[in-house]
Every structure is written in structure tokens, then in C-alpha cells.
Amino acid sequence: MTAESDFGTVAAMRGVQERRDGAVRLAMLLGGTVFVLMMLLGLVMRLAQGGLVEIDAALFYRIMTAHGAGMVGTATLTGATILWFFTNRHVPLLAGVFWAFLGLFLLGVVFILAAIFVGGYGGAWTFLYPLPAMSGGFWQPSAAALFLLGYVSIGVGFLLLHLEVARKLIAAYGGIGGALAWPLAFGRGRPEDAPPAGVVAAMASTIFNVLGIVVGAAVLVASIVNLLVPGFTVDALLAKNMIYFFGHVFINAAIYMGVIAVYEIIPEYTGRPWKTTRAFAIAWTVIMLFTLSVYPHHLMQDLAMPAWTLVMGQLVSYFSGIPLIAVTAFSLLVYIRGADMRWDLASALLVLGVAGWSVGTVPAIIDGMIVVNKVMHNTQWVPGHFHTYLLLGEVAMAFGFMAWLTRAPAAQERPGAARLTGADRLLFLTYAVGGTGFVLVFLVAGALSVPRRWAVHATQWMPLAQAASVFAALVILAVTVFVLRYLSGLIRQRS
């Protein structure tokens, strides 16, 4: 091959690479924007619960449905985009698959929005069978079916994305076990030969998310048939098991995929690679098994469930925090301590993301105890814990990734040049303080037995919702600036 054609190939490859990144940048822009919009819906709900604005209860439940589905979908969209971007660093992925994923995702969003705001569907993002079919006259079965079809479209998109990732990782690392670093975890493999940390995380989250989506698709299709042919019924307890298996896995996958950004980006700031150690490899395989078996902690109110499944849910809940915190939060502390850590908005948000995620598992584990769950189950303790590891966890990681994609040109050339300006510090603090205050109010309200999912609150609960609204406004302010900053970074990079 001549030098010239070599050069041509490199240039062409770079062109392909940039176009691929273009799709990633667009997906993150959409994700960031939807986060802001969904947070505004969240604020409206909190204002309504605080008695500061008046909205019809039916509208509240539509907003709650849109907020839940929109947030979970966007968290997983941004997580999967992070997974795609970094997997692509290690194995070349087919760009067309990502575009198909994005297209199916957007099609699903259109269906879901139409189902809610045109069709009036308000049965919550969890579509618990047979609720979609029992609207009490608030929506037609067709609206519920459209909502579920939107999920199917999004699910197919995710399957395509994960299958492309799985196919390439399996080929490059010698099978599923190779990509999960099993030779190192359970054999005589050496750390030097193990796949990068991001690859292990990508393989593990791909496996469980595929399983979750397949089970989810089955119960979605059954529910759609039930809506169209009411004579066709499904065992409600089985459907609930399938839905919560899917829901638990899907939202966990969002976070576990987001963490890949931490493994891949933080080394640039510490100057030390995130190593695939034996403990790391074992932990990810264990996390994979736990994620698949812990979902019964959502069914503790279901007396008809076999007792052993609930006990398993509780026990696995205890342990599922440990490997995760050991290989991510603890390692992160070690990496940061031992290095001359550089701070900028990106690294600060990524570290906050790990902290928020780790802290959020604590109230989650508490709620995963059967005796506690009996009391706390339908209180705001529940949104309290999941807003902690989502708002201060996955979402912080997603915005950290976006800040990193558009970091200052000097920092792109030389990571040592990264710095946290005064304005960035203020922005970061606004987000962290607003987010912490917001989730704390949920947890306090939960401890005081304020119920969740109530459109109208008793007068004595209203001050809580009002305080939460102030914190939410701070978060929204910060996040709006994150998105604008990202957008201006994209424009700067284009010119």
C-alpha cells in the first residue's frame, strides 16, 4: 500500500469516526433537552402538590406518566449512548445501527406523547397489568395500546443497539466469557490480557438489558392483545413479575451503562488507567447475576408471591450494593487520592454521579427490607431513593459526559490543562445543592408517611412540596445552563 492511499484511508476513517460521533452528540443533545423538559413537568407536579398551582387530577396523572416514561427512557438513552461511544473506541461498530436506534426511539416518543396528551393515557410508566385496560373512562384502549406500542418501538431500538455491541465484543474478545474477563476472574488469565474496564461493563449491561427487554416485550405484547381482545387475559401476578423484572433491569442498565463514562474518562484526569483487576471482573459478573435476581423487592406487597422469592429479593438487595461500591466508588476514591486529580465541570459531575449513585443505594436497600417495605412502600420514600441515584447519579454522569465531549480545546489536547472556573463551580454547586435538597425532601416526606403518586396533598404536607419546588427550580436552572453550554460547545467545535 502506498503512503498516499494510506493517508486516504486514515482520512476516510476519521471522517467515518466523526460522523459516528455526530450521532452520539445529537443523541446527547436530545437527551439533555428532554431531561430539562421532563424536569419542568416534575416541577409542575411538585407545585401542584404544594398547592401553588392548580391542575386537574387527570392531568396530573398524565404528567406523572409522561415524566416517568420520559425520564426512564432518557436515562437509558443517554446511558446507551455512552456505552456505544466508548465501545466504539475498542471495537468498530456499525454507525447505521445507532441511527436506527435513535429513529426507533424517537418514533416511540411520538407514540407515547400522542397516547398521553392526545389519547389521555395516564396509567403510569409502569403500565401495570391490567391497569391500561381499566381507565375508568379516562382513555380509550387504543390510547393505552399506542402507549405500549411506543415502548415496543423503543425496545426494538435498544435490542438492535445491544445486539451490534454484543456481536462485536464477542468476536473481538473471544466470546461472552472473554469480554466479561472470566479468564481473569475465574481462571489463570493475567490482568494485562483482560479487556478494558469499559468493555467488561458494556458486555455485562448488554446481557442483562437484552434479557430485561425480551421479557418486557413479551408482557407488552400480551398487554396489547388484552387491550384489543379483552377476552384474552394474562395471569396478573405473572405479568407483574415480568413488568418489574423488565423495569428494574432497564433502569439499572441506564446507570451501569452511564458508569462506563467514569471508567473511560476519569483516567484522563488522574493520569492512571482504570484497570480490569480480578476483583473488578468478579464484581461485574456478580452484579449481572444480582441485577437479574433482585427484582422481587418490588413485589413485597404481593402476598401471593412464594415467600422464598421475597426473602431472596431482600437478601440480594443487601448484597447488591457491595460489589458495585467496591469496584466503582471505592476504586474511584483510590484513583483520585493517589493522583494529581484535575477538576473541571466534566470530572466534577462524573464524581458526583458515582457519589449520588452509591448514596442512593442506601435508602433503596432499606426499602428492600420486607419489614420496612410494609410501611414505606407507597410513600415518597420510594421516589426519594430513586431520584437520588438517578438525578444525582445517572443524570450527573450524562451531563458529565456531555461536558467532557465539549470540554475546552486546551483540555482536549492536554488533559492536564483542565480547570474548574468560578462560573463552573457555581453551576456545579447549584445542581448539587438543588438536587440534594430535592431528594432529601422526598425522603423526609416518606419518613413522615406522605404517600407517593397523590395528585392532591393534605395541607400539612404542602410546605414540603413547596420547599422541594425551590430545590427543583435550582436543578432546572443548572441543567438548562448545562444544555446551553453543551450546545455552544458543539457549535464551537463545528466552526
Binding site for ligand HEM (CB under 6 A): 39, 42-43, 45-46, 64, 67-68, 71-72, 75, 124-126, 380, 383, 387, 390-391, 395, 452-453, 472, 475-476
As given in the structure block, the three cell numbers for residue 483 are 444544555
Q: Whole-number minimum distance, CB 295 to Cu ion, in Å? A: 6
Q: Whole-number minimum distance, CB 284 to Cu ion, in Å? A: 18
Q: Which stretch binds Cu ion (CB under 5 A): 20-28, 172-180, 243-251, 419-427?
A: 243-251
- What phi, psi does 390 have (nearest 5°)? -95, -60
What is the longest distance spanned by two Cα atoms in the chain?
A: 79
Q: Whole-number minimum distance, CB 170 to ligand HEM, in Å? A: 30
* Residues β-bridged to residue 379: 451
Q: Is 144 helix (H, G, I), strand (E, B) or coil?
A: helix
229 touches 260 (CB < 8 A): no
Q: Which is nearer to Cu ion, 20 or 248 (CB)?
A: 248
Q: Which is nearer to Cu ion, 101 or 389 (CB)?
A: 389
Q: Which residue is nearest to ligand HEM (CB)?
A: 42
Q: Which is nearer to ligand HEM, 126 or 493 (CB)?
A: 126
Q: Which is nearer to ligand HEM, 195 or 247 (CB)?
A: 247
With CB under 5 to 8 Å by kind, the binding choice for 67 among ligand HEM, Cu ion, none is ligand HEM
Other C-beta atoms lying within 10 Å of the C-beta of residue 19? 11
With CB under 5 to 8 Å by kind, the binding choice for 278 among ligand HEM, Cu ion, none is none
As given in the structure block, the three cell numbers for residue 321 are 450494593
- Under rule CB under 5 A, residue 46 binds Cu ion: no
Q: Which is nearer to Cu ion, 217 or 292 (CB)?
A: 292
Residue 194's alpha-carbon distances to 85, 199, 299, 328, in angstroms, are 20, 10, 38, 18
Q: Whole-number minimum distance, CB 71 to ligand HEM, in Å? A: 3
With CB under 5 to 8 Å by kind, the binding choice for 395 among ligand HEM, Cu ion, none is ligand HEM
Q: Which is nearer to Cu ion, 49 or 388 (CB)?
A: 388
Question: Could you give the CA distance from residue 295 to residue 306 in angstroms, rounded to a whole number?
Answer: 14
From the number of C-beta atoms within 10 Å of its C-beta (0-12, 13-18, 19+), residue 338 rates as exposed
Q: Which amino acid belongs to residue 138?
A: F
- Under rule CB under 5 A, residue 248 binds Cu ion: yes
Question: Could you give the CA distance from residue 472 to residue 329 in angstroms, rounded to a whole number?
Answer: 26
Short-list 318, 322, 329, CA closest to 357 = 329
Handedness of CA 476, 482, 484, 487 (dihedral sign): negative
- Under rule CB under 5 A, residue 387 binds Cu ion: no
Q: Whole-number minimum distance, CB 347 to ligand HEM, in Å? A: 21
Q: Whole-number minimum distance, CB 424 to ligand HEM, in Å? A: 20
Q: Which stretch binds Cu ion (CB under 5 A): 59-67, 155-163, 248-256, 487-495?
A: 248-256
Q: Whole-number minimum distance, CB 96 to ligand HEM, in Å? A: 28
With CB under 5 to 8 Å by kind, the binding choice for 45 among ligand HEM, Cu ion, none is ligand HEM
198 touches 256 (CB < 8 A): no
With CB under 5 to 8 Å by kind, the binding choice for 248 among ligand HEM, Cu ion, none is Cu ion
Q: Whole-number minimum distance, CB 481 to ligand HEM, in Å? A: 14
Q: Which stretch binds Cu ion (CB under 5 A): 121-129, 212-220, 229-237, 246-254?
A: 246-254
Q: Which is nearer to Cu ion, 1 or 371 (CB)?
A: 371
Question: Could you give the CA distance from residue 254 to residue 72 in angstroms, rounded to a whole number?
Answer: 8
Q: Which is nearer to Cu ion, 32 or 321 (CB)?
A: 321
Q: Which is nearer to ligand HEM, 92 or 437 (CB)?
A: 437
Query: How far, in whole angstroms, is CA 285 from its chain's centroid?
Result: 20
Handedness of CA 284, 285, 288, 290 (dihedral sign): negative
Q: Which residue is nearest to Cu ion (CB)?
A: 248
Per-residue b or e along 458-478, where b marks 16 or more CB atoms closer than 10 Å to that residue's CB: eeebeebbbbbbebbbbbbeb
Q: Whole-number minimum distance, CB 153 to ligand HEM, in Å? A: 19
Grid look-up 394474562 returns 234
Using CB under 5 A as the binding criterion, the count of chain residues that bind Cu ion stands at 1
52 touches 467 (CB < 8 A): no
Q: Whole-number minimum distance, CB 386 to Cu ion, in Å? A: 9
With CB under 5 to 8 Å by kind, the binding choice for 399 among ligand HEM, Cu ion, none is none
Short-list 354, 287, 405, CA closest to 22 = 405
Report the Cα–Cα distance between both ends of the chain, in Å, rounded: 34
Short-list 147, 162, 138, CA closest to 80 = 162
Per CB under 5 A, residues contacting Cu ion are 248
